[in-house]
Each structure stands twice: as C-alpha cells, then as structure tokens.
Structure 1
Amino acid sequence: MFFVDTIEIEGLGNRHYLAGGAHAAVAVDPPRDIDQVIAAAARRGVRITHVVETHLHNDYVTGGLELARVTGAAYLVPADARVSFARVPVRDGDVVGIDSGLSLRAVATPGHTPHHTAYVLEEDGVAAVAFTGGSLLIGTVGRPDLVEPRLTEQLARAQHASARRLAAELPDAAAVLPTHGFGSFCSSGEAGGDSGTIGREKSVNDVLTKDVDTFVAELLAGLEDVPAYYTHMGPANAAGPAPVDLTAPAVADGDEIAARLAAGEWVVDLRHRVAFAEGHVAGSFNFEADGKLATYLPWLMPWGKPVTLLADGPEQLARAQRELVRVGVDRPAAAATGTPERWVRDGEAPASFRRAAFGDLAAEREAGRGPVVLDVRRDSERAGGWIEGSVHIPVHQLPQRIGDVPAGTVWVHCAGGMRAAIAASLLDAAGRDVVAVDDGFDRAAAAGLTVTLPRP
C-alpha cells in the first residue's frame, strides 16, 4: 500500500505532495518552508529519499534544493531545465524506485514550460497517481504564457498534446494530482473541482474534449494579466534558493515607522480590513494576512522595496512571514504588533476612512451626490457585468494609475471586499477621500444600482 499526503498552500492556490510506502517517500514540488514536508514525513515514519520538480516554477520559490540538502535525498529536476546547481537530470521514461513495489516514472509533458515533466506513481507496475504539476489540472490546464511571449501558442499546442498523452497512457482510475489550479494564477482557467481522475478529466476538461485549434484559440483568448512578481520566481529557482530565515524581524516604534514611510518604503498593515478602516497609520497599506497576501503584496509592491509589517500579534506576523518567503520576500525590514495607537508617533492619532455596502452607494447616487465608483476587479470579472458609470482599474494596476482616478470621493469595490480594501488603502495613502465598499458584487443590483450586462 502507498500513501499520498497533500500540503495545501491556500494563499497561492497550490498543492504539494509527499508520497511513499512503509519506509521511504518522495516529495513533489515542495514549498520553500520545508518544515511542513519534514513534519509530514515524520508523522508517517518514513525517510524522504527523493525530491522531484515538475518544472521551474514561476509562481513560488521552491524548497526542493534545500529539502534535498537537509534530508540527503536525490534531487530530480527535468534535464532541459537550465539550473545553476547539481541535480539528477530527469528525462522522459526515467524510472526510480521509491519503496517496495513503488516506483516513479517521468513523463515529458511540455506546455506549461518547455521542459515540464509529470511523474506517475506506479504500484506493482500499475499507474495509480499522476503528479501533473502545471500540465493537466482539475478541469483546466496550466497557462502557457509564463516563459516567453513568442512561445505561447507553441506551448499551448504542446499542452494539448501532453494532456492527451497522459489521458491515452494512464488508466481512467489514476488520480490526477496537480500542483497548480486551486486559485493559482498559474492556471489558465478556473479549476473544475477539488479532485480528479484521468477518466473524469476525459469527460470535463476542454483540453481532452476539444480539438487543438479550438482549444488553443479559447485558451489564449482567456489569459489574464500575470502577477508582476512571477518574473523573479523562475530566475530564483534556477539559481538555487537560499534557506529561509523565519526569525522575528526587528521591532519598529512609531518614529521608525514614520521615518520608513518618509523614505518611501512600504508599511503594510496585516489586520482585517474592518480594523484597518477604523484606524491605521497614515500612509500604510492594508493587505490582510488571511487574504491572498502572498499573491497581491508582491504583485503590487515594487520588487525589492523594503517592507515593514504591522500585525495584531506575533502569530499573525509569523504566518505572514511564512507566506511571503514562499514568493521571495525574505526578510521584513522591521515589524510591530499591537494596535495603531502604538504605531503612530507621540501626539498623533491614527487615520481612518469609511466603509459601506452597495445599498449605501445606491443611496448616495439617489441623493444626487455623484460619487466616483471605482471597480478594481479583473477584466474577466468585469466582463460579466459592471455598475453603470463606474471606472475600471484592476487593483494590480492601481499603484501606477492612481492619477487616472477622477477627482471626488471614491467609492471603491471589488467582488467581495478584500481587494477593495487594498485599493482603498492605496487611495487613502495618496490623500484621496475614499469609501471602501465591503459587500458582494452579486448584491449590487438588488441594492438598487444599475448593473450593465455585456451584450450577447
């Protein structure tokens, strides 16, 4: 018998795996904070003998090199991936033994990257699990546009062929266990479920139900913006990431926080958006620790900019540090915990701004006050309907486009409230009068607002 343990990183929408038998195991696409993988192996009472990468990741910094070093495991990386460290090069058809009766077979699956490789776990020669990385996902596939724009269509066609190869060679009962696709921006579309098998994917996944030309045309038409920090992940993984340092940062007081803001550094408040709106350090930005911190903060923040973290307590701060090292934001410049009253200089009061629901916005319009309505959702979300007269700037574009926001009080909304809070904090720091709409967009029409729908 074999086991597969899943290590889920919800903030990035990824899954990592530990699979093995009674004595030994393989780690697949491990996260940078490798203590989670080591703990999973300890619970199972197994030794990690192999660490494998399906590809050089574009959305997170891998822990594979460090995990192999710490455990003494063989580090398997696709042979055509150009890296600056010693590894075991893997080619199509290579097979390694994991435990008694268990082996891992490499299957070349180019598409997400040119060198992408899936791994099939076989028990007594029968394929049981396919670790598909960024190739065949649940209901979709990995996006093919993260390597080089000129290769995008070529890789999309390769993705189609790779998925069909897996479907043809593996039994219908084989489990499909991808790394991406659970909210990851590495996915080319929304995942069609939480788990899958080869048989299920044959019936529901476009890559297996549509011809190559139709599939490629639709895939390319649906691709959205890539998080800005992705451009730094591949090079970091190719160079060989350094071990992480999760020790607590230096503590900053109100004077130091003010000085860092004056120097143009980023001060990020990790508290819930309600608490932030009620009181915060003027000039700070709100990225909730329990939101998609590791996606949106490095996406919006200039790469390499010193960042000071403000948290409600040590636990929240530690969680945020762990999330951020996964995307290469290694060491906060400083940090502070507690409440905003402790983070401002003596004699200063925290800043605040208003929160509202869509019903409040409708009342504002009814009263004829004509507020600016700013929609910070992605293009694909807005394509499904928008508030009449609203201005559209996706949240990841806002730092460079604040000057495009019309004058007046700005009522900012997204789909649920979290991104609106980020945007509201950016506008507030820029000196704008802002109201954060903390409400679900699906309630906008019922609240009395005119929602414009796209033409059929």
Structure 2
Amino acid sequence: MFSVQPFEAKELGNASFLVADPDAKVAAVIDPFRDVDIYLTHAEKLGFRVTHALDTHIHNDFVSGARELKALAGTHIDPLQPDADLALGSFTLRALHTPGHTPEHRSYLVLEQGQPKALFSGGAVMVGGTARTDLFGPASATRLGLESLRTLQVRLRGLPDEIAVYPTHGSGSFCGISGGAGHETTLGTERLTNPYFMTTEVMQFLARILDQHRYPTYYEDMGAINTAGAPLIGRRPAPPKKLQAGDVAQLMKDGAAVIDVRRGVDYDKGHIAGSYCVGLLPGEAFSAWVGWLVDRRRKIVLAGGNDRQNQEAQRQLLRIGFDNIAGTLDGGMEAWEASGRELSTFETAGIEDMARWIISGEEVTVVDARDDHEWGSGHVPGAIHMYVPDVPHHAHDIPTTAPVAVHCGVGYRAGIAASLLEQAGLKRIIHVNAPYEDWAGRLHLAETVPT
C-alpha cells in the first residue's frame, strides 16, 4: 500500500508530493521544491529513504529541488522515459507523456498489482482546470493547446474514474486557472466538473485555454535555470545577515531592492522611501510578486519582519532562484528612525473614504491596480487602469494635480502599487485597503467594459 504526503508552497499555488511504501521504507518526491529539508525531515521521522526525485516538467515557476536531493541524499534524478516503469517497494510509478503545459510534460501513474490507483498530474490536470500552454510564446501556444486537449480526451481516456489525482499546480498558481482549491481530486470528478475536460470542441477549447492572466517575468529564465541546474544551497541555508541602517542605506544607493514584508497597513504608517511593499502574508504570492518586479541580479534587503518572517521570506525567494539576499534590516523601522533617517507614510483609506470621494465628487485620482480580466468585469467610472507590474512603466501618465488613491481587489496589490508609485516620484498617495466588491458593489458604481 502506498502513502502520499503533500507539501504545499501556498505562495506559488503549488504542491509537491512524497509518495512512499511505508513497509519497504522507500519514497520518491514528485516535483520537489528547492528547500528539500522539508522532505528529508519528514522521511527521517518515518524512517524512509528518498530514493528518487521526479519532475513532471521543466518548471517555469520554481527551482527544482531534484539536484539538492541528489547532493544531500544520493537520490536518483534520472527522468523516466514515456511508458517506463519505476518499481518503488510494492507499487510502481509509470511515466505517461501528457504534453500541453509543456512539450515534455509527464504525469506519473501509481500502479498496485498492475492496477492504476493514482495520478501525479503536474499541470496536465488541475482541480477544475489545466495549466496554461503559452509559456513558450504565442507561436507554440496553440499547438500546445491542441496537445492539452488530446491529453485530456485521448491520452488519459483509458484511466478509471476512481483514481486519485494529485496536481502540482493549483489555486493561486500563475501557471493556470484552477476552478477549485486543494491538490487532490479524482479523475471522475474532473471529467464531470472540469470545464477543460467538458469542452471537447477544438476552437472552444483553444479559446478557453489561451485566455489566460499574465504571468510573472521571472518565468522567462526559470526554464533555462532548471535545465542548466541552479546552484546548490544545502539543507538549511544560513539565516539572512543582520544589517545596520547605514549598511541598508548604502546598499540602496548601490541599487539594492528593499522588500518590506509587513502588512500594507503597517507599511503605510512608516516605511523606507523607495522600498517595495510586498507583504509576507498567508495566501499571497509574495515571491512571485518580488520575482515580477525585481531583477534577480539585484541584491535584496528584507525589512520590517522578525527573524522567523525573514527566514520564511528567504525560503520563498530561494524557491524561485532569488539567491542574492544581502541581509535584513536589524531593528526594523525603529532602527531606521533612530539612525536619523526619515520614514515615509501613506494615507490608508477604507470603504467609507471611497464612498465619500465618489459621491461628493471630491478631487481624487483613482488608480485600479487589478489585472485585465478583473478590470473588464467591472470598474469604477473614471478610474485609471494600471495593473501592478505596469506601474513602473506608466506611472508618469497619472495626473498629479490631485491625491492618487490606488485600489485592487482586496488591498494587497494596491499596497505594492502604492510603493511603486512612490518610487516613480508621486507624492500624495492613498492606499485603499478595502475589498473592491464591498465598496463598489454596495454603491453600484462599477461599470463593465464592453466586449
């Protein structure tokens, strides 16, 4: 009997899996993250040996931990060819070629006594979705879209409904749109409810799978990093170095990026001018946003967090190959002020503030930092649409005659956008830290973009 232990990287919307034979004490890790201590600690606790590491595809969103496992535990990392079997105790893993998300994509079928029991599907099957096919550019997106359709309708056709499915990509992943939370489902459930399984007409399927949200720019070189192999970081990287305020100021002059990991409302009360407001919050894509906005070659300083938060931020950044972490601001904002340096502040606005401005016609420039799909589903009349990653390039288009109030869907991305507006030189910035649906829907202010 096999067992499955998921390991989630919620900031990426991903999961990896340790599949084991508890009796034989052997295990394999499917799609391992780079911080492999999570698998080794779990395996050691149960007395397992991690003998193999298998990636379902060349990842664009995180660094594979397969090389780390090989270096630390002697794990075999040779990829299985399509239809090849790997015996692991009492069960077998069979590699299935399931292209679509990527050309080489494999899913791993668990067989017990020759019978299919589970499928580690990577991005081929997600809960309520399937992974995007446009990561290699528009020229191949349609071809891979057709491969995805064939994978769902033909390549997986012979598998029974009752087998468990464990997808790597899930809700919150920029690698695809998932219709549900979690990293476990059944093939039968997906066949009945997943719109990608249910859409069999070619043009309709392509229209659906090609209509994707934008993805972070760090994806563009991640495939090459995984192909070449990222530098080894060891089982437990040393905690970030603690830096004095003067050191941080000099690093900023030299081009370092300061990432403030606090909540947006705390950032608003006092922060280092020119820093990035990217909160290390549950359920938010901390590392993906850093990877979208900061060149991986820049040095990074973490600010505002305690030791535990700084180490978690480091872990999440190492997962995406951002290794150039110079350290953390020791003592936080208090130390910055104590050194004689000023803190910058933003006004924080809520539902009542937005209602007052709009109803009274008060002179405020509203910037909507949501993505194109969200904007198209409804927005405040007169607002300027500027998705977060576009702010550094188009902030100069925003009128500066009135205060600028920036909002998003909840408030998290608005905080990021506000910090980018400050970097662009804007002075009167208001961070709207309130759910868009609460104030726009209540006031019936949202207009929909014609389609």
TM-score per shorter chain, which class? over 0.9
Establish whether residue 272 from structure 1 lines up as the match of residue 263 from structure 2.
yes
* Separation in structure 2 between the aligned mates of residue 311 and residue 165 of structure 1, nearest angstrom: 51
Structure-2-length-normalised TM-score:
0.94
Kindly tell me: are residues 237 and 264 of structure 1, through their superposed partners in 2, closer, same or farther at Cα, counting changes over 3 Å?
same
Q: Is the contact between residue 387 and residue 449 of structure 1 (CA under 8 Å) also seen in structure 2?
A: no
What is the CA deviation profile of residues 198-236 of structure 1, one whole-angstrom value per residue up to 9, with x for unaligned ones?
111111122321224134332244112121000121011
* Separation in structure 2 between the aligned mates of residue 179 and residue 24 of structure 1, nearest angstrom: 21
* Separation in structure 2 between the aligned mates of residue 384 and residue 368 of structure 1, nearest angstrom: 24
Kindly tell me: are residues 20 and 428 of structure 1, through their superposed partners in 2, closer, same or farther at Cα, counting changes over 3 Å?
same
Residue 74 (structure 1) aligned to one of 60, 73, 76: 76
The Cα of 1:275 is off from its aligned counterpart by 1.2
Q: Is the contact between residue 14 and residue 179 of structure 1 (CA under 8 Å) also seen in structure 2?
A: yes
Establish whether residue 395 from structure 1 lines up as the match of residue 384 from structure 2.
no
Partner of 1:81: none
* Separation in structure 2 between the aligned mates of residue 74 and residue 348 of structure 1, nearest angstrom: 52
Partner of 1:254: 245
Amino acid at match of 2:71: R
* Separation in structure 2 between the aligned mates of residue 28 and residue 206 of structure 1, nearest angstrom: 26
Moved more, 321-330 or 355-364: 355-364
Residue 443 (structure 2) aligned to one of 423, 439, 448: 448
The Cα of 1:345 is off from its aligned counterpart by 6.6
Amino acid at match of 2:52: H
* Separation in structure 2 between the aligned mates of residue 40 and residue 147 of structure 1, nearest angstrom: 35
* Separation in structure 2 between the aligned mates of residue 20 and residue 366 of structure 1, nearest angstrom: 61
* Separation in structure 2 between the aligned mates of residue 398 and residue 59 of structure 1, nearest angstrom: 22
Partner of 2:178: 190
Kindly tell me: are residues 152 and 446 of structure 1, through their superposed partners in 2, closer, same or farther at Cα, counting changes over 3 Å?
closer
Partner of 1:99: 89
The Cα of 1:366 is off from its aligned counterpart by 3.5
The Cα of 1:63 is off from its aligned counterpart by 0.3
The Cα of 1:166 is off from its aligned counterpart by 4.8
The Cα of 1:113 is off from its aligned counterpart by 0.8
Partner of 2:353: 360
The Cα of 1:303 is off from its aligned counterpart by 3.2
Partner of 2:295: 302
* Separation in structure 2 between the aligned mates of residue 171 and residue 326 of structure 1, nearest angstrom: 35
The Cα of 1:111 is off from its aligned counterpart by 0.8
* Separation in structure 1 between the aligned mates of residue 137 and residue 360 of structure 2, nearest angstrom: 51
Partner of 2:52: 50
**Within 5 Å, which residues of 2 pair with 1:164-183?**
164-183=153-172
* Separation in structure 1 between the aligned mates of residue 180 and residue 302 of structure 2, nearest angstrom: 35
Structure-1-length-normalised TM-score:
0.93
Q: Is the contact between residue 179 and residue 194 of structure 2 (CA under 8 Å) also seen in structure 1?
A: no
Q: Is the contact between residue 207 and residue 215 of structure 1 (CA under 8 Å) also seen in structure 2?
A: no
What is the CA deviation profile of residues 48-73 of structure 1, one whole-angstrom value per residue up to 9, with x for unaligned ones?
11111111001111101121232222
Q: Is the contact between residue 20 and residue 26 of structure 2 (CA under 8 Å) also seen in structure 1?
A: yes
Amino acid at match of 1:232: D
What is the CA deviation profile of residues 215-262 of structure 1, one whole-angstrom value per residue up to 9, with x for unaligned ones?
433224411212100012101100012222621233322222222223
Residue 340 (structure 1) aligned to one of 333, 338, 348: 333
Q: Is the contact between residue 407 and residue 432 of structure 2 (CA under 8 Å) also seen in structure 1?
A: yes
* Separation in structure 1 between the aligned mates of residue 137 and residue 211 of structure 2, nearest angstrom: 17
* Separation in structure 1 between the aligned mates of residue 212 and residue 361 of structure 2, nearest angstrom: 39
Kindly tell me: are residues 142 and 446 of structure 1, through their superposed partners in 2, closer, same or farther at Cα, counting changes over 3 Å?
closer
Amino acid at match of 1:423: A
Amino acid at match of 1:50: H
Kindly tell me: are residues 193 and 286 of structure 1, through their superposed partners in 2, closer, same or farther at Cα, counting changes over 3 Å?
closer
Q: Is the contact between residue 258 and residue 345 of structure 1 (CA under 8 Å) also seen in structure 2?
A: no
* Separation in structure 2 between the aligned mates of residue 156 and residue 24 of structure 1, nearest angstrom: 37
Residue 205 (structure 2) aligned to one of 216, 231, 235: 216
Amino acid at match of 1:306: K
Amino acid at match of 1:65: R
Amino acid at match of 1:158: E
Count of matched residue pairs:
442
Amino acid at match of 1:350: L
Residue 320 (structure 2) aligned to one of 319, 322, 327: 327
Secondary structure of 1:75's counterpart equals: coil
Unaligned runs of 5+ in 2: none
Partner of 1:80: none
Establish whether residue 201 from structure 1 lines up as the match of residue 190 from structure 2.
yes
Establish whether residue 150 from structure 1 lines up as the match of residue 139 from structure 2.
yes
Kindly tell me: are residues 209 and 366 of structure 1, through their superposed partners in 2, closer, same or farther at Cα, counting changes over 3 Å?
closer
Secondary structure of 1:76's counterpart equals: coil
Moved more, 7-16 or 211-220: 211-220
Amino acid at match of 2:364: P
What is the CA deviation profile of residues 61-88 of structure 1, one whole-angstrom value per residue up to 9, with x for unaligned ones?
11011212322222132xxxxxxxxxxx
Secondary structure of 2:78's counterpart equals: strand
* Separation in structure 1 between the aligned mates of residue 339 and residue 331 of structure 2, nearest angstrom: 16
Amino acid at match of 2:394: R
User: What is the alpha-carbon root mean square deviation over aligned residues?
Assistant: 1.7
The Cα of 1:367 is off from its aligned counterpart by 3.8
Partner of 1:244: 233
Amino acid at match of 1:404: D
Amino acid at match of 1:280: H
Secondary structure of 1:400's counterpart equals: helix
The Cα of 1:265 is off from its aligned counterpart by 2.3
The Cα of 1:318 is off from its aligned counterpart by 0.3
